[in-house]
Amino acid sequence: MSIEGLRQLPSSEKLKLMETLWEELSRPDDEFESPAWHATELAATERRLAEGKEQVLDWDKAKESLRMKAG
């Protein structure tokens, strides 16, 4: 299916597809290797957390914050 085809789908179908993709991507994959920048960003976040410069949010509050930023 093309990107344009996806754009034509109703939101309910888009959500079903997204959930299916997420389930597939969430499964353990022995061949998957995180890019190096993931480790770099994780280390930077851990450093900011140790320095008191990073705020830890409850997952529900984090989702709410992202939704508000998205408009």
Q: What is the mean pLDDT of the chain?
A: 91
Tell me the per-residue pLDDT of 3-22, one tens digit each, with 9 for 90 and over: 999 999 999 999 999 999 99
Number of domains in the chain: 1
d(CA 54, CA 62) in angstroms, rounded, equals 13
Check whether 46 has a pLDDT greater than 90: yes
Q: How far lies 20's CA from each of 12, 27, 42, in Å?
A: 13, 11, 27
What does the chain come to in residues?
71
Give residue 7's domain range: 3-27+34-70
- For residue 70, what pLDDT band results from cuts at 50, 70 and 90? confident
Better pLDDT: 9 or 31: 9
